[in-house]
Amino acid sequence: MELSESIRNRRSIRKFTDEPISKEDLRDIVQAGMNAPSGCNAQCWKFIVLTNKSKIDEVANALEKATRTFYASVGATDELIESRVKLTTFFKKAPAVIFVFKTDMQYHDSRVTEIFTNHLGYSHEKMIDAMGNPEILSIGACVQNMLLTIHEKGLGACWQCDPVLFGDDICKVLNVTNARLSSVIPVGVPAQTPREKRLKSFDDVCTIM
């Protein structure tokens, strides 16, 4: 499949068949993510891929509990709570789930770090933010590489960010330390055909000078 075709035709898939995904395909998908550009070549990512149904359910159950507790604490209606649970945990129906974690990024030039931290009084986090959050951009590029590879293989996926709100709960279940959950990507054989994506017009979003 041509790259341009993959970019145009890829869609978010939220319903999957029960067909398992091979370890070879999962390895190819994560390897594609690892080949993404990253700020300072920090490669500030970690991955956990779950194919064990009981473990996927364990994560989903912890996430459901955290979601219910959070929204109930702010007085959300039962209808809203149920919709948030469904939206946040639908990955449990996929045969494979990729959890993407962001690790700390160290800027490559210590002289620049010294200027920001010692002379300007910036924290490391504030310095990275001032530079455009390259670690977050790197994760985005990584996930996009994986999504396009998934589509190229005739599989489907969805880029989930809602579970990140309760990333600490997921990290606890998966025994992850020194990293922050960034994205959850359920992967499987599509059991739906999404409608066409409506894009804004080119002239509305781009100016060529």
**Mean pLDDT across the chain, nearest whole number?**
95
pLDDT for 3 equals: 86
Q: What is the per-residue pLDDT for 22?
A: 97
Tens-binned pLDDT, residue by residue, of the chain (209 aa) = 688 888 989 999 999 999 999 999 999 999 999 999 998 899 999 999 999 999 999 999 999 999 999 999 999 999 999 999 999 999 999 999 999 999 988 888 889 999 999 999 999 889 989 989 899 999 999 999 999 999 999 999 999 999 999 999 999 999 999 999 999 999 999 999 888 888 999 999 999 99
CB atoms < 10 A from the CB of 12, how many?
13
**Which residue from 53, 64, 72, 39 is spatially nearest to 139, judged by alpha carbons?**
39
Helices (H) and strands (E) in the chain, counts: 9, 4
Alpha-helix runs per DSSP H in the chain: 3-9, 23-34, 53-73, 78-89, 110-114, 124-130, 134-152, 167-174, 202-205
In tens, the pLDDT along 70-129 reads: 999 999 999 999 999 999 999 999 999 999 999 988 888 889 999 999 999 999 889 989
Strand partners, 97: 50, 186
Under 8 Å between Cβ of 98 and 185: yes
pLDDT at 1 (0 to 100) = 62
Tell me which residue has tokens 């996009």.
144
CB atoms inside a 10 Å sphere around CB 168: 12
β strands within the chain, DSSP E: 45-50, 96-102, 156-157, 180-188
| First-to-final CA distance of the chain | 33
To the nearest whole percent, how much of the chain has pLDDT over 70? 100
For 185, the token pair is 């990507």
Q: How deeply is 182 buried, as exposed, middle or buried, from its count of CB atoms within 10 A (0-12, 13-18, 19+)? A: buried
- Contact criterion met (CB below 8 Å) for 23 and 54: no
